[in-house]
Structure 1
């Protein structure tokens, strides 16, 4: 994929993800309004966490499937590629059904281990078990979807996978707006399952258009399936550890007070706004490109694409992290404050979010670095680093939770993910024998200076707005709009003056388009 096409595809994917994220914000606002910071949202958060913990298998499958299927596309016939896809699809679906049955049988034990704070009340405990049993049904749709989206991305078709969040969030919004009062948390659990089904459905038309059709092939001894299992095992361990890290944080939080897991979850959702919109979109587009260069043995273009992606991530995530840290109060007020989500919840979430913000940058870089390792079929290094990260996180959690409560958990996450990301960057530089870290560091220094200058401007503007108008939804909107406009102008002007090449290249593309 050419540099121009990479940026164009990334931009369209980001637009789709932004639309999905807008719906996600609206969904979260409705959750806060309907359920507040209570044991009900804690139950849902923990149950969804179980589902996401198991989706790491699907993530590992998709990640290893893409480069192997890319080789099928490049080197074999359509018939062989179709047979390979169907075999993976059938074997993985059967495996998933077995896992679902096991989870349903041991759902009580899951609550005891990962959400012990919910076992103190028998009614809350029984409801939590029911919710988990409903929501794990999502896994069968997630497993099928992971193979289908892998096929699409191997063909460099990104738009349908990028639209999945938008589709599922629309399902949640309809339920929360019109059906919550009648069916409560049980109905919301069912709507979550339906949401994952919708994510699968929107990928099927493009999948069929590419010429794939369902056939029953079931061979667990297929050599390429074995290759996927071998390669995906470290990825599953690595990503499971990342999800387990979140799970451990929630487990710590359940023992602080009712609602603490929800505070942790809401602050994390705000923190990952920019990450989920931009970093995931860029990683989705760049991974097949890196896989293609790696398969061709084109090390020079591989390194160029990698450095370009890292710099684009920094260009977006550094100012986003500082802006969200500065504007956290109006953001939380605007999105969540209503109904059962009161001033106290706003303050608690704001405090937790402040210490989460540095993690945003590290999350974005980590995703690109993981994809870079996976593209060259090194799945072990990210796994080892994930082990290191979880050990660091737990150790810091134990120390900080006594003094900082939920904020201690978010600070521990930021410290651990930053350390792990730096280690991964150094490991990759060593493995590839120099990826031009000097260029990355120079871009980062320019970006951080521009971001700090932007932060000073928006801090003063936000302070004036709050001083004269108070903290209300209207004030929050006014402050956020003014800060976004002024902050963007300051940041982009400084970045352009500093001649950060990815930004200058983007400006040149826009200029050429306007001339035409």
Structure 2
């Protein structure tokens, strides 16, 4: 894939992700307004967490499916490709159905073990069990979409997979606006199942246009399926540990106070905003290219592409994390502060978000590094690294929650993410014989310096506006708007002075595009 096409695909994904995130903010604002930081919200967040923990199987499937199916596209005919895809689809659906049945049967024990704080209130506990059983039904649509999105991405079709968040959030918002008052959190659980169905359905037309159709194939002895499963297992363990860390956080949060789980999840949603919009988009597009370079034994281009992607992620994530940390209270107030979500909820969520911000940077780089390992057919290293991260996270949770409450849980997550990301960099450096860590560190230092200068300016802007206009919704909107414009301009000037290659390349390409548009 050429650099221009890579950037073009990245921009498509970023635009669709931004639309999805805007709708997600509307959804979360409605959740906060309708249910607040209450046990109803805690129950929903916990049950959704159970689903997300199990969806890591599907994520592992998509991740390992892409390079294998890419080989099928290059070397096999359409009939063989279709047979392989259908076999994976049918086997996955069968196993997912078994997991759903087991989950529904043992939902009581899932809640008892992983949400110990809910046992004190019988109503909360029984509602948690019931809603968890409803939400588990979503898994069948998640498993189907994992295969279909893998097929589409193997063909370099990114539009539909990137639009899934948009379509699901439309379903959520529709329910929250028109039916939340009547059917409450139980109805919202059913709406979640429909949202996952919609995510799957949006991929079907393009899937069929690519020449794929359903066949009743079920061959457990297929060699390609065996290869897929062998590669999947470490990826599933690796990706499930990220959800396991969140699950561990929720475990400790249920023991603090009512609304602690909600504060944790609202902070996590804001923290993952920039990461999911930019870092995930870049990783999604770069991954097939990295796999292609390795297949062609072009290690030089592999390293160049990887380092360029890491630096671009840092260019975006570092200033975003700094801005989010400084503007956390105005941002939370704008999005959530209404209805049942009061000033106390803003402060608790803000405290959690502050210590989450460093993880934003680490997650962005770590996700790309994991993809780099997967592209060289090494799924074991990210798995071991992730397991170590979970252990670090849980140990620090136990220590820090006593002194910092919810903020301690997010601080533990950030420390764990930073340690494991640094470890991945050094391991990959040894594995591919030279990743030019010195250059990466130099670039990171320059970006950090520019972001710190921007952060100081934003802090002064924030304080000046509050001092003269007081604390209100209009004031918070003004703070965020003025900080985004002036802070962005300050950062661009500062980063331009440091002469970072990736920034120069992006600005040069933008100038060429503008000149071409002007001439045409």
Matches of 1:174 and 1:18, distance apart in 2: 19
TM (norm. structure 1) is: 0.99
- Equivalent residue, structure 1, for 2:449: 449
Matches of 2:250 and 2:471, distance apart in 1: 29
- Equivalent residue, structure 2, for 1:154: 154
Matches of 1:194 and 1:504, distance apart in 2: 45
- Equivalent residue, structure 2, for 1:130: 130
* Mapped pair 1:320 → 2:316: no
Matches of 1:499 and 1:167, distance apart in 2: 40
- Equivalent residue, structure 2, for 1:376: 376
- Equivalent residue, structure 2, for 1:513: 513
State the secondary structure of the residue aligned to 1:194. Answer: helix
State the secondary structure of the residue aligned to 1:69. Answer: helix
- Equivalent residue, structure 2, for 1:164: 164
* Mapped pair 1:39 → 2:39: yes
Deviations 1:20-74, CA, capped at 9 Å, x for gaps: 0000011000000000001100000000000000000001111110000000111
- After TM superposition, give the deviation of residue 471 of structure 1 in Å: 2.1
TM (norm. structure 2) is: 0.98
Deviations 1:267-286, CA, capped at 9 Å, x for gaps: 11111111111111111111
Matches of 1:56 and 1:297, distance apart in 2: 30
Matches of 2:214 and 2:435, distance apart in 1: 42
Deviations 1:418-438, CA, capped at 9 Å, x for gaps: 000000011111100011222
Matches of 2:502 and 2:178, distance apart in 1: 45
* Mapped pair 1:268 → 2:268: yes
- After TM superposition, give the deviation of residue 6 of structure 1 in Å: 0.8
Structure 1: where are the runs of 5+ without partners? none
- After TM superposition, give the deviation of residue 302 of structure 1 in Å: 1.2
Deviations 1:395-445, CA, capped at 9 Å, x for gaps: 111111111111111111110110000000111111000112222112111
Alignment of 1:210-221 (within 5 A): 210-221=210-221
- Equivalent residue, structure 2, for 1:175: 175
The answer to whether the 8 A contact 1:13-1:158 is kept is yes
* Mapped pair 1:311 → 2:315: no
- After TM superposition, give the deviation of residue 326 of structure 1 in Å: 0.5
Matches of 2:497 and 2:374, distance apart in 1: 36
Matches of 1:42 and 1:414, distance apart in 2: 22
Matches of 2:511 and 2:347, distance apart in 1: 44
- Equivalent residue, structure 2, for 1:279: 279
- After TM superposition, give the deviation of residue 470 of structure 1 in Å: 2.0
- Equivalent residue, structure 1, for 2:86: 86
The answer to whether the 8 A contact 1:71-1:295 is kept is no
Deviations 1:321-342, CA, capped at 9 Å, x for gaps: 0000000010000011000000
- After TM superposition, give the deviation of residue 287 of structure 1 in Å: 1.0
The answer to whether the 8 A contact 1:148-1:204 is kept is yes
- Equivalent residue, structure 2, for 1:292: 292
- After TM superposition, give the deviation of residue 501 of structure 1 in Å: 1.3
- Equivalent residue, structure 2, for 1:459: 459
The answer to whether the 8 A contact 1:326-1:455 is kept is yes
Structure 2: where are the runs of 5+ without partners? none
Matches of 1:510 and 1:31, distance apart in 2: 39
- Equivalent residue, structure 1, for 2:423: 423
- Equivalent residue, structure 2, for 1:5: 5
Deviations 1:146-190, CA, capped at 9 Å, x for gaps: 000000110111111111101101110011011101111111001
Deviates most, 116-125 or 89-98 = 116-125
Matches of 2:27 and 2:155, distance apart in 1: 32
Matches of 2:377 and 2:90, distance apart in 1: 24
Matches of 2:515 and 2:15, distance apart in 1: 24
Matches of 2:394 and 2:456, distance apart in 1: 34
Count of equivalent residues: 516
Matches of 2:452 and 2:436, distance apart in 1: 25
Deviates most, 79-88 or 463-472 = 463-472
Matches of 1:330 and 1:259, distance apart in 2: 20
Deviations 1:254-299, CA, capped at 9 Å, x for gaps: 0001110111111111111111111111111111111111222221
- Equivalent residue, structure 2, for 1:405: 405
The answer to whether the 8 A contact 1:393-1:413 is kept is yes
The answer to whether the 8 A contact 1:14-1:281 is kept is yes
What is the RMSD of the two structures over their aligned residues, measured on CA atoms?
Answer: 0.8
- After TM superposition, give the deviation of residue 124 of structure 1 in Å: 1.3
- Equivalent residue, structure 2, for 1:495: 495
* Mapped pair 1:226 → 2:226: yes
Matches of 1:209 and 1:368, distance apart in 2: 30
State the secondary structure of the residue aligned to 2:221. Answer: coil
State the secondary structure of the residue aligned to 2:218. Answer: coil
Matches of 1:307 and 1:266, distance apart in 2: 32
